[in-house]
C-alpha cells in the first residue's frame, strides 16, 4: 500500500477492454455511469463522463488491439484514462478533426466511424490530453472538475 | 414513507415472500424482509411490473371504487382510449360513452380528445420553442418517474406537456361548469384507467401542483357493469354523438400512437420497461443524436397492456386497430379552437420535474466514496449468484443494503452455509482433540469400568 496523507479520499476502478468484442462493448461506460450515480455526482457531469467513456471504449474496441480504461474519483475531480497497446495513431492532430476517421468498412456498417469520437471526448471534458505513437499505443486522459 | 402515496401496494396476507417481484423491479424498489415483500416508497415508479409477475396476486393497484363518484354532485367520466379495446365487436365508440352515462356519470369527456390537444400542443412547442432533442414523451408517468430515478441526466429532454388525462379533465370541468352554471368544486372528474401509475399521478402529480382529476376507476372494476349497460345504450336509440376524438387520439392507446400523430419523420416508439431502459441508455450515451422524438411506454403494447385492463393486451391492440380502420374519423381540432385553448390554458409543466437521486449512497461525496469501497469489498465476498434468497434483488443490491445498514451479510444463505460449515469443522476438530484419558473408540462419551 502506498502511504497517502490521511486527507486523501478517492477510488480507482479499472476495466479491461477487448479489441473487437462487441458483445461487451459499452459495459465499462455503463458501470462507470452506475458508479458515479451511486456516488451522487452531479447529473450533468455524469452525462459528460458517460459520453467520453463510451466514445473512448468504442474507439478501443474498434481501433486498438486491446487495452485498459481507468477512472479515478476524488471529491474534487474525476480523471478518466484510456491506455491501449497499439497500433497507435499516425497523425493525432488529424484524428482530432471532426469527421476524420480511419474506421474500416465493417465498423462503418455498424454505424461507427463518423469521426466524432475524439472531438466529442474533448468537448465533454474540462481537461484533455492525448499522446500516441505508432507501434506503441495511445494514452488518453480526460479530466472533469467536480 | 415520507407521505408519498402509491397506487401499487402489497396485500400482505397474500404475499408468500417469494422473490419473483424483487427480481423484476426496474428500480430495485422491493425487498423481502421477514417473509413478506416490502416496497421502498421513494424508489417505486408504479410501473406495475410486480403486479404482473406476482403469482399470488399479492401486488395490487389501488384505485377508487365506482361508488366514489357519488362524493360529487356532478360526475364526469374521462375514459382512456384503452377502454374501447376491451369490448368484442365494438362498432361505435358512442356505445361505450353512452354506457358510462347510464352508469351514473353526468358527462363524458374522452382522454383521446385530450390526446388530440396534447398532440397539437407538442407540435406547437416543436415549432416555437425548439426543445432539446430527442424529446422524450412525458405521457407515460412510469417512464417519467423512471427518468427521475435512473436517468436524471435526461430530465431536460422530457416533453414539457401535461398529460392527456390532465388536459381532458381541465377542459371537461370548465365546459361542464360553464354549460350548466355550476361551481367547479362540485364537479368530480374520474379517469377510467388501465394504469396504476396514472392513479398515483392523481394524488402525486408530475409537473403540476394539483391534479384536475379527482379520482380513478380501474377498467377492471368498470368492465363488468359497463358491459351490462352498453347493450341498453345501443338500444335506447341515442341520437346525439358524444364522441369528439380523432382516430389518431384513439390510437394513443397503442404503442406508436403518440409518435405517429406528431407528423414527424424521426420518432421511435418502444414499449415494455426493459426495452425502454435499453433505449434510454442509448440516448444517454449520445448515440441517438438523429432522433427527434422518443415515445417510451412502460407496458407491453402501450397503455393496452396496463396492469388494470381486462382484456389480453395483444387482443385489445388488434381490436383497436380494427376499430380505427372501420369507423369514421372526427374533425381535427380547428385552428381557432386550439388558439382559444392556448389563451385559456397553460399546458406546460408548472412544477419542475426534479431528479430523485435514490441510488446515491450518501449526500457527501467523500462519505459516498468510503461507502462505495465498503460496498465493493462486501460484494467481492458474496457468491454472485443473484439468487434473491436474501430478500435483495441481487448480490450487489445486498451489498448496498448492508452498507446502508439495513441488513447483514448473513442474510445470504451461501454465506450462512459457509459459516455453518466452518462451525461444523470446528466441532469435528474439537471432537478429535479429546483428552487422552478418554476412550475414543466410541462416540458415546466416557466409559466407566463396572
ipTM associated with this complex: 0.78
Please report which confidence band the pLDDT of residue A118 belongs to, taking 50, 70 and 90 as the band edges: confident
pLDDT in tens, B20-30: 999 999 999 99
- Chosen for mutation from A39, A52, A120 (greatest number of chain B CBs closer than 10 Å) is A39
How far, in Å, CA of B271 to CA of B301, rounded? 6
**Are residues A10 and B369 in contact, defined by beta-carbon separation less than 8 angstroms?**
yes
Q: Distance, in angstroms, between A50 CA and closest chain B CA?
A: 6
Nearest CB partner across the interface for B152, out of A11, A29, A43: A43
Cell of B401: 443494503
CB contact under 8 A, A41 and B365: yes
pLDDT at B431: 80
Nearest CA in chain A to B397: A38
Q: Please tell me if the domain spanning B8-61 has the same topology as the one spanning B365-432.
A: no
- Chosen for mutation from B147, B286, B401 (greatest number of chain A CBs closer than 10 Å) is B286
pLDDT in tens, B83-134: 999 999 898 999 999 999 999 999 999 999 999 999 999 999 999 998 999 9
pLDDT in tens, B270-323: 999 999 999 998 898 777 888 999 999 999 999 999 999 999 999 999 999 999
A42 interfacial to chain B (CB closer than 8 Å): no
Its CATH architecture, for the domain A12-145, is: 2-Layer Sandwich (3.30)
Rg of chain A's alpha carbons, rounded to an integer? Answer: 15
Which of these CATH numbers, 1.10.150.120, 3.40.50.280, 3.30.70.20, 3.40.50.10610, describes B8-61? 3.30.70.20
Q: Distance, in angstroms, between B60 CA and closest chain A CA?
A: 30
**Are residues B307 and B48 in contact, defined by beta-carbon separation less than 8 angstroms?**
yes
The count of C-alpha atoms lying within 13 angstroms of the C-alpha of A80, restricted to the half-sphere facing its C-beta, is 28
More confident residue, A35 or B357: A35
A123 interfacial to chain B (CB closer than 8 Å): no
pLDDT at A8: 65
pLDDT at B235: 65
pLDDT at B97: 95
Q: A113: left (phi > 0), else alpha (psi -120 to 50), else beta?
A: left
Its CATH architecture, for the domain B365-432, is: Orthogonal Bundle (1.10)
- Chosen for mutation from B148, B369, B378 (greatest number of chain A CBs closer than 10 Å) is B369
Q: Distance, in angstroms, between A45 CA and closest chain B CA?
A: 9
The distance in angstroms from the start CA to the end CA of chain B is 71
Q: Is A67 helix (H, G, I), strand (E, B) or coil?
A: strand
Average pLDDT, chain B: 91
- Residue numbers in A near B375 (CB within 8 A): 38
DSSP bridge partners of B187: B74
Nearest CB partner across the interface for A9, out of B153, B360, B370: B370
User: What are the residue ranges spanned by the domains of chain B?
Assistant: 8-61, 66-344, 365-432
pLDDT in tens, B387-398: 999 999 999 999
pLDDT in tens, B179-224: 999 999 999 999 999 999 999 999 999 999 999 999 999 999 999 9
Amino acid at each position: 500500500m502506498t502511504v497517502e496523507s490521511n486527507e486523501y479520499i478517492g477510488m480507482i476502478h479499472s476495466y479491461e477492454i477487448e479489441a473487437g468484442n462487441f458483445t461487451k462493448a459499452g459495459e465499462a461506460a455503463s458501470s462507470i455511469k452506475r458508479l458515479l450515480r451511486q456516488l451522487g455526482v452531479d447529473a450533468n457531469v455524469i452525462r459528460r463522463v458517460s459520453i467520453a467513456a463510451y466514445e473512448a471504449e468504442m474507439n478501443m474496441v474498434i481501433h486498438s488491439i486491446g487495452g485498459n480504461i481507468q477512472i479515478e474519483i476524488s471529491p474534487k475531480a474525476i480523471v478518466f484514462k484510456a491506455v491501449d497497446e497499439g497500433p497507435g495513431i499516425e497523425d493525432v492532430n488529424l484524428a482530432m478533426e471532426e469527421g476524420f476517421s480511419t474506421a474500416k468498412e465493417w465498423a462503418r456498417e455498424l454505424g461507427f466511424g463518423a469521426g466524432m469520437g475524439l472531438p466529442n471526448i474533448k468537448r465533454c471534458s474540462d481537461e484533455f490530453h492525448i499522446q500516441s505513437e505508432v507501434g506503441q499505443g495511445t494514452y488518453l486522459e480526460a479530466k472533469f472538475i467536480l | 414513507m415520507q407521505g408519498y402515496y402509491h397506487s401499487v401496494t402489497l396485500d400482505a396476507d397474500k404475499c408468500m415472500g417469494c422473490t419473483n417481484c424483487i427480481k423484476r423491479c426496474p428500480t430495485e424498489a422491493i425487498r423481502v424482509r421477514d417473509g413478506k415483500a416490502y416496497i421502498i416508497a421513494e424508489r417505486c415508479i408504479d410501473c406495475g411490473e410486480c403486479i404482473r409477475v406476482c403469482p399470488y396476486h399479492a401486488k395490487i393497484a389501488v384505485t377508487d371504487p365506482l361508488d366514489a363518484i357519488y362524493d360529487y354532485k356532478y360526475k364526469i367520466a374521462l375514459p382512456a382510449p384503452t377502454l374501447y379495446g376491451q369490448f368484442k365487436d365494438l362498432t361505435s365508440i358512442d356505445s361505450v360513452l353512452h354506457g358510462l352515462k347510464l352508469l351514473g356519470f353526468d358527462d363524458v369527456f374522452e382522454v383521446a380528445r385530450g390526446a388530440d390537444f396534447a398532440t397539437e400542443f407538442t407540435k406547437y412547442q416543436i415549432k416555437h420553442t425548439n426543445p432539446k432533442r430527442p424529446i422524450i414523451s412525458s405521457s407515460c408517468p412510469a417512464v417519467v418517474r423512471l427518468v427521475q430515478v435512473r436517468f436524471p441526466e435526461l430530465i431536460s429532454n422530457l416533453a414539457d406537456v401535461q398529460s392527456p388525462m390532465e388536459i381532458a379533465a381541465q377542459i371537461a370541468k370548465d365546459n361542464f361548469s360553464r354549460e350548466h352554471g355550476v361551481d367547479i368544486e362540485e364537479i368530480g372528474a374520474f379517469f377510467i384507467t388501465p394504469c396504476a401509475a396514472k392513479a398515483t399521478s392523481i394524488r402525486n402529480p408530475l409537473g403540476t401542483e394539483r391534479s384536475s382529476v379527482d379520482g380513478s376507476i380501474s377498467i377492471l372494476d368498470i368492465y363488468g357493469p359497463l358491459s351490462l349497460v352498453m347493450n341498453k345504450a345501443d338500444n335506447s336509440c341515442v341520437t346525439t354523438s358524444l364522441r369528439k376524438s380523432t382516430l389518431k387520439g384513439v390510437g394513443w392507446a397503442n404503442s406508436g400512437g403518440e409518435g405517429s400523430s406528431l407528423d414527424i419523420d424521426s420518432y421511435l416508439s418502444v414499449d415494455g420497461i426493459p426495452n425502454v431502459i435499453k433505449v434510454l441508455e442509448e440516448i444517454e450515451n449520445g448515440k441517438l443524436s438523429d432522433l427527434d422524438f422518443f415515445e417510451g411506454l412502460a407496458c407491453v403494447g402501450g397503455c393496452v397492456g396496463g396492469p388494470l385492463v381486462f382484456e389480453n393486451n395483444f387482443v385489445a391492440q388488434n381490436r383497436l386497430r380494427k376499430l380505427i380502420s372501420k369507423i369514421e374519423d372526427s374533425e381535427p381540432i380547428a385552428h381557432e379552437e386550439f388558439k382559444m385553448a392556448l389563451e385559456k390554458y397553460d399546458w406546460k409543466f408548472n412544477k419542475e420535474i426534479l431528479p430523485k437521486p435514490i441510488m446515491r449512497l450518501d449526500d457527501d461525496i467523500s462519505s459516498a466514496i468510503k461507502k462505495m469501497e465498503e460496498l465493493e469489498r462486501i460484494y467481492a465476498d458474496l457468491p454472485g449468484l443473484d439468487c434473491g434468497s436474501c430478500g435483495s434483488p441481487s448480490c450487489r443490491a445486498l451489498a448496498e443494503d448492508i452498507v446502508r445498514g439495513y441488513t447483514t451479510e448473513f442474510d445470504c444463505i451461501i454465506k450462512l452455509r459457509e459459516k455453518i460449515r466452518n462451525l461444523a469443522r470446528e466441532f469435528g476438530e474439537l471432537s478429535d482433540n479429546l483428552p487422552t484419558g478418554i476412550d475414543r473408540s466410541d462416540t458415546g462419551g466416557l466409559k466407566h469400568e463396572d
